[in-house]
Amino acid sequence: MVAQMVQPRAQCLTRLSENARAGTVSPMGLLDGRSAVVTGAGRGIGRDIALCLAAEGAKVVVNDVGVSLGGEGTGEDPAAQVCKEIEAAGGNAVPNHDSVSDFEAAGRIIATAVDNFGGIDIVVNNAGIVRDRTLVKMDEADYDAVIAVHQKGTFNTVRHAAPLMKDAGYGRIVNITSSAGLRGNFGQTNYGAAKAAIMGMTFVWALELGKYGITVNAVAPAGVTRMTENLYKGTEPPADQDPALNAPLIAFLASEGASYVNGQVLGRTGFGYTLFQTPRQIATMWREGGWTPQEVADHFHEVLGQHLQPVGMGDHPLLGKKD
């Protein structure tokens, strides 16, 4: 990548290095002294989140099992490498190699933070795999594997962390979702289902945990990673596709200053951060006493049919058209 593509990441490492030379780690950072877990933090977006949280003063558990995009073992140890980067720059990080898809293993991820840092303040659920296929070509194993990591993995880590946060009266949970789940994307039944479920869990947990000083939000990030690098087919990605650009928003959501932000779905487009409008009723077709099927057919287009919503990344060619 060109120099401008790595600038946000370089800023995080530079800040850590400057603090190390001064003999302390980010005393004025947003997350000074906080204990964080970032899953899937060995590469891509997760790596940049871990670097950014550390630069803001957090002590970070860098979780990554070191698998391929499809979830197969590789023998690599990206979690340890990210920890070395953080430590070399003056930060505090420990690796963890457990899989979020296993409930007991997810407990060990949270326990790593408790054992090394004395507690758990922040959980960023970023771990993920993809096995993209259209519905008619997808088998059960493809579906189950992706759901296990994204959806169940998010439940697993939070189920172990939430009681500890509740007892402490403080917590920040950031769940990584995707427009594939919020809007739909071709060939991603499993991934889209998991990411939509993560949005739903975010809403429920925000309601349940808010009274204990715990906020729960979701972020749909953007950027060139292993999951998306084929989109550019050898050409240089634009600067606004740097995955490190997502991290500052997540660092803010993980901070004390974001106590008023709860149950929200945010995202990134270009150099801007966005706020999604959550699903809500936008139009009503009403008739005293109810409707017959034929009456619905007669009036649907002229009322609800004028407000149909697009799915996916572009408008459906037949959306709203009749005959």
Count of beta carbons in the 10 Å neighbourhood of residue 303: 14
pLDDT of residue 19: 59
With contact defined as beta carbons under 8 Å apart, do 119 and 110 qualify?
no
CA distance 54 to 172: 15
With contact defined as beta carbons under 8 Å apart, do 164 and 208 qualify?
no
pLDDT averaged per 10 residues in sequence order, the chain, 323 residues = 46 62 60 97 96 97 81 73 95 97 98 98 96 94 96 98 98 95 90 96 98 97 70 71 94 98 95 92 96 97 93 61 63
pLDDT of residue 133: 94
pLDDT of residue 33: 95
Give the residue extent of every domain in the chain.
3-275, 281-323
Kindly state the tokens that stand for 87. 């430590």
Q: Which residues have CB under 8 Å from 150's CB, separation 6+?
A: 127, 128, 129, 191, 194, 195, 197, 198
CA distance 80 to 62: 8
Kindly state the tokens that stand for 243. 């995955």
Asked about 191 being catalytic, the answer comes back as yes
* CA 154 to each of CA 32, 51, 54, 124: distance values in angstroms, whole numbers, following the listed order: 25, 21, 22, 9
Which strands, in side-by-side order, build the sheet including 93-96? Answer: 93-96, 59-63, 35-38, 122-125, 171-176, 214-220, 265-269, 272-275
Give the SS3 label for residue 201. Answer: helix
Summarised one tens digit per residue, pLDDT across range 218-231 is 999 998 866 555 55
Summarised one tens digit per residue, pLDDT across range 1-53 is 333 444 555 567 666 656 555 544 445 799 999 999 999 999 999 999 999 99
129 alpha-carbon distance from chain centroid: 12
Helices (H), the chain: 7-22, 44-55, 78-88, 103-117, 140-147, 153-168, 179-182, 189-209, 247-253, 293-299
pLDDT of residue 15: 66
pLDDT of residue 2: 36
Give the SS3 label for residue 88. Answer: helix
The one catalytic residue in 143, 170, 191, 260 is 191
Q: Which residues have CB under 8 Å from 15's CB, separation 6+?
A: 26, 55
With contact defined as beta carbons under 8 Å apart, do 53 and 122 qualify?
yes
pLDDT of residue 6: 43
CATH number of 3-275, picked from 3.50.50.60, 3.30.300.30, 3.40.50.720, 3.40.50.1220: 3.40.50.720
